[in-house]
Amino acid sequence: MNDRIVLIENKNKEKLFETWQLFLLITAITMLVYFAFQKFIMTQEVYYSLYGSQLEEHRINDIISLTQKFQLWGLLATPILIWLRIAFVAFLVQLPFMIKFIEVPFKEIFRIITIALFLLLLSVVIRFYYLYFQPIENITSDLLTFTPLAITNLLDKNNYSDLVFSFLSKINLFELLWGVVIYIGLLKTKKLEKIDYALIVFGVWIGILVLTFAFNIFIGTLL
């Protein structure tokens, strides 16, 4: 009887998808969207529409040619970049546990972050379809920065700098759901109080925003 109970419990604990399978799925979808974006959104007509009034035709063709050369490298680097992204966020989440000398396996947190990443990926997919159904003449540099269900959709971009507007675009429903998924995943570890998990998620989210903001400022100084 006891053996049967243990067997049932083990079956219930089996994962529908392994972490590596989720990672491969995220990678495949990301690469597909990246390819589709370059193929159907950033067409030659769109480049001419964006830069036609600023650059000469041969300069625009040079930009298109250079972009196409980097596309293959971008696709090849996608798995590594996604892994680094998940691992970095997982490290930030695990850091408070390490400070408190609380043991939580890194692979467990890595899985939580991997699952949560699907919410951010959903935002990317929705953005692609939104741009896909736009007429070419409607695609502007401002429209290309569109973030689905973000607070910036209610604001006038002319009242904000590019960096501030980019920062505000991170306040959106998908980022919120990303945090909720991580919070729920951490709850299952049963290592801390609920408020502690909420503070960890919020702290990591703020930390990522600050690092992204600082990186954009740094890149801006080089251009």
pLDDT in tens, 185-206: 999 999 999 999 999 999 999 9
Number of domains, the chain: 1
How sure is the predictor about 21, in pLDDT bands with cuts at 50, 70 and 90?
A: very high
What is the residue type of 79? P
How sure is the predictor about 90, in pLDDT bands with cuts at 50, 70 and 90?
A: very high
In 10 A of CB 139, how many CB atoms?
19
The string of pLDDT tens digits covering residues 115-157 is 999 999 999 999 999 999 998 888 988 899 899 999 999 998 8
- Mean pLDDT of all residues in 54-79: 83
- E runs forming strands in the chain: none
Helices first, then strands: H and E counts in the chain: 8, 0
What angle in degrees, to the nearest 10, is found between the helix axes of 194-222 and 173-187?
140
What does the DSSP assignment read for 195-210?
A: HHHHHHHHHHHHHHHH
Query: pLDDT higher for 6 or 51?
Result: 51
Instruction: Specify the pTM.
Output: 0.88
Report the C-alpha gap between 39 and 18 in whole angstroms: 32
Residue 27 has pLDDT above 50, yes or no: yes
> Tokens in use for 222?
């080089």
What are the Cα distances from residue 188, in Å, to 4, 65, 165, 192?
Answer: 25, 50, 35, 10
Report the C-alpha gap between 1 and 170 in whole angstroms: 53
Query: In terms of residue numbers, what domain contains 189?
Result: 2-222
Long-range contacts of 143-149 (CB under 8 A, 24+ apart): 145/169, 147/123, 147/172, 148/123, 148/172, 148/173, 148/174, 149/123, 149/173, 149/174
pLDDT of residue 141: 85
Residue 213 has pLDDT above 90, yes or no: no
How sure is the predictor about 9, in pLDDT bands with cuts at 50, 70 and 90?
A: very low
How sure is the predictor about 3, in pLDDT bands with cuts at 50, 70 and 90?
A: very low
How sure is the predictor about 31, in pLDDT bands with cuts at 50, 70 and 90?
A: very high
Buried b (16+ CB within 10 A) or exposed e, 77-104: ebbeebeeebeebbebbbebbeeeeeeb
Q: Is 171 helix (H, G, I), strand (E, B) or coil?
A: coil
What is the residue type of 98? M
Residue 85 has pLDDT above 70, yes or no: yes
pLDDT of residue 222: 61
3-state helix, strand, coil in the chain (%, to 5): 80, 0, 20
